[in-house]
Amino acid sequence: MLEHLSAQPKDKILALMAAYRADTRDTKVDLGVGVYKDASGTTPVMRAVKAAEQRLVDQQDTKAYTGLAGDPAFSDAMIDLVLDGAVERDRIAAVATPGGTGAIRQALELIKLAAPGATVWLSDPTWPNHPSIIKYLGIKSQTYRYFNAETRSVDYVGMLTDLGAVLPGDIVLLHGCCHNPTGANLTVPQWKGVIDLLKEKSAVPFIDIAYQGFGDGLDKDGAATRMVASSFDNVLIAASCSKNFGIYRERTGILMAIAKDADQRDLAQQNLSFLNRQNFSFPPDHGARVVTTILNDPELRADWEAELEEVRLGMLDLRKQLSSELRRLSNSDRFDFLADHRGMFSLLGTSPDKVEKLRADHGIYMVGDSRMNIAGLNADTIPVLAQAIIDAGV
Ligand code: LMR
């Protein structure tokens, strides 16, 4: 049987992780996979996470199954964190999932059940796993322009033009904040314009929000998702706790499906639980319980928010340092966009050849489309990267 297999396409982010590990140069710089690192290069366990885990070890008296949708307290806490009351609770179906990727996968499975003929529209570019899962599931997809390679900001006119071709019932995938890979984000008026257009087209928005708290703060990063959620009868939202709680390997995420009314919600909820059962049965619980413990305990929550804010401000500071170093070296404002972008990533906007040159000559690892993980930098590597960017003729 197994001889009939053929090799599957490699995920370019994970392939880059492996290449970085295999590089023996001690000057190598990892700007690849989207994992937060502090100035010493470690990905710390957040203080509130440690404390919540300790509490669980001390107090948890069973590891018996939860419900198929996960612990309802996790859903409540996450719905509150992401939507902050923007939509009536009895219109929201939700299931815990293995990470944000699990939520995306379950959302696409739900789309297959509810709208098998619909096209899913993706920003160009987007996180590579979006088109990969869509293709694997045999769902139709199209792209809309998103990034202006000249200005390294959102190509808003191109985006609206392309979304003008959306058909009624099509799904439009949007990044709630901190766009991956570009780092370029819609302004509030631009979000309003997109919402108006999608309403006119009778489209269904699907929000991927994996970096809430990494851009402009927890509340501001949730604002666009809340605006979308309160503007449509149906919205899908895949949220991840990997980054903002730093619990990557615990696989903690949630899929929310906003329904027109409570009856429709019940039907969506039953379908989501069914899909969990088909794919993995009960969702992972440990990370979800840690998150719930933190969000429901005022002290732990305050400490988590404070540490997340330190992480966010640290990344903003790295952005400012890199753009000002490049301003100095290039004698131009060409790289000012780095300070304007938000989240973990910025798309440098250069060719794969130059990305390869940066890797070969300087041991600087970024994804082939020139996506850099800003959190991979520190005060020592910023001047090295800036000089390398200039030397490579970016
Ligand atoms: C990334 O974009 O680097 C992260 O979301 C990690 C991943 O799974 O690709």
Q: Which of 384, 390, 318 is nearest to 354 (CA)?
A: 390
What does the pLDDT look like over 199-214, one tens digit per residue?
999 999 999 999 999 9
Q: 3-25, pLDDT tens digit by residue?
A: 999 999 998 899 999 999 999 99
| Backbone φ and ψ of 106, nearest 5° | -65, -35
For range 295-317, the mean pLDDT:
98
13 lines ligand 1 (CB under 6 A): yes
> CATH topology for 65-296?
Aspartate Aminotransferase; domain 2 (3.40.640)
Measure 248 CA to ligand 1 centroid, in angstroms: 10
336 phi and psi angles, rounded to 5 deg:
-60, -25
Q: How far is the CA of 261 from the centre of ligand 1 (A)?
A: 34
- Mean per-residue pLDDT for 24-34? 94
H helix runs in 184-297, sequence order: 188-200, 218-229, 262-279, 286-296
Residue 166, sorted as left (phi over 0), alpha (psi -120 to 50) or beta, turns out to be beta
Residue 298 CB neighbour total at 10 angstroms? 8
> In angstroms, rounded to a whole number, what is the distance separating the alpha carbons of residues 182 and 174?
13
- Count Cα atoms within 13 angstroms, Cβ side, for 309: 10
> Is 25 exposed, middle or buried (CB count within 10 Å of its CB: 0-12, 13-18, 19+)?
exposed
What is 10-45+308-391's CATH superfamily?
Aspartate Aminotransferase, domain 1 (3.90.1150.10)
pLDDT, position 80:
98
**DSSP label at 282?**
S
Ligand 1 atom closest to 32 (CA): 3
Confidence band of 53 (pLDDT split at 50, 70, 90): very high
Q: What does the domain layout of the chain look like in residue ranges? A: 10-45+308-391, 65-296
**Using one digit for the tens of pLDDT, what is the confidence trace for 155-184?**
999 999 999 999 999 999 999 999 999 999
State which ligand 1 atom lies nearest to the alpha carbon of 181.
Answer: 2
Q: How far is the CA of 212 from the centre of ligand 1 (A)?
A: 15
Q: What mean pLDDT is predicted for residues 233-249? A: 98
180 ligand 1 Cβ < 6 A = yes
Instruction: Kindly report the protein residue whose alpha carbon is nearest to atom 4 of ligand 1.
Output: 34
* Long-range own/partner contacts, residues 196-199 (CB < 8 A, 24 or more apart): 197/160, 197/163, 197/164, 198/163, 198/166, 198/172, 198/232, 199/231, 199/232
DSSP 391: H
Render pLDDT for 315-366 as a digit per residue (tens, 0 to 9). 999 999 999 999 999 999 999 999 999 999 999 999 999 999 999 999 999 9
Pick the range with the lowest mean pLDDT from 29-43, 232-246, 268-282.
29-43
Residue 372 Cβ contacting ligand 1 at under 6 Å: no
Q: Average per-residue pLDDT in the chain?
A: 97
Per-residue pLDDT averaged across 85-89, rounded? 98
Distance 77 CA to ligand 1 centre (A): 24
Please state the atom number of ligand 1 nearest to the C-alpha of residue 127.
2
Q: Is the CB of 127 under 6 A from ligand 1?
A: yes
163-190 burial: b if 16+ Cβ within 10 Å, else e = beebeeebbbbbbbbbbbbbbbbbeeee
